[in-house]
Chain A
């Protein structure tokens, strides 16, 4: 049944579902009404399943977790953020979180699908025969999914803060969660993201330390920089040194920096490319 469509077609379909959630949500907000959370949740689930299928097919083609080029990295990060939303979004009881997640998922998916160059090179057997390296990479990118969700809740915090400060509380602002709820969600997401990234780096370090030359220096520096930055922000937030709007702004900026760092990490691998199966699975 999966073979009915190619991996990219499944991923286009997923992007379509995410876009549909975003558009119906936008229309509902323009009318000043909350959109149907059940209907949109089901659309998100449909998009998620399509994306899962696409990534599964790609993973089978490249013989491992599909993290070999910017397209795959963006798709995997989107999938991680959507996974988290579907698992914990219900607990947050915020239809706006679903709206923003759909927006992010649609943008990241469509951008990555629309730039063929990002998917021109496919690396097979990227992680060799060591499943721990693959686990390390997958976990690291999953933590980026958590940070993506953190960026969304930070954006929601800034919007809510703006609405309350500027005294524009009606219209679609009224569907945003409370300041305190968003702050609590942000701290929990940050702690979860840092924990996941820490475990990922610990697993990676176990294989990197005996053989430091096996990993490019740029990748090491970028990864550690992201980890230190998020860890520092978590420490400052728990120590109540960075709070409220400033905390939200920093989380947004850090996610943008973390996304950019993925470029550097990916570019650094070009020199160490081992195998390509360009066009092989299209």
Chain B
């Protein structure tokens, strides 16, 4: 039995001016993993490497326990993909889209597709290019669900969606993994979405892996520290990640283990946003 639906071991890819280096992560069956990082961090590159749309330089990528290059065709039968913008021909209708996409999947279910289209209220007669962004996203999801995908890979699906549609989208994801047999890899920079649905999180910054593990561990690893400038010692300054100093005081992120050392400062729980922002700004302090 496969425990991890997705495993990356020391994956690297170099481009002129950018290097995605030594990325390792594991996504167990039945969970949602958030892939976060600022724009240009390497999230989409990581997804493209998983889908074998780009060839890795080094490392190993296992999907459902199989090598993603050697078993590409078999693996992709069980993967559903949703990108940040639609990748169907804009002149297609829903019927055309089903006809074109279904030929690639052995387990395509016309009934499930129709049920999803009805559930998402997608207009039958309209062309895909005339759909709103929310509708386009739902159509990609309907296609992903209709071939009984075990692993859903989402590349910034909620960017540009209004809060109502985003909320609905997150509910759909939670429902999708309910049976414990499916997993989701969800790349985003809207971290509040992840706080709601993600069990695991991977943070990438400037092509480097910053953190991968459970959400609980991440939230417990860091504290937000605030204080007056006069309380900022050299030792404290060195240990703060993403330090921001103003006339009023300072603010930054600190390792939770070291937090108790600084009694004059205010310590707060850090959100994923705090962690990603501070780590992105932190540079050498990491």
Do A and B pair up? The answer is no
Residue positions of A touching B, CB distance < 8 A: none
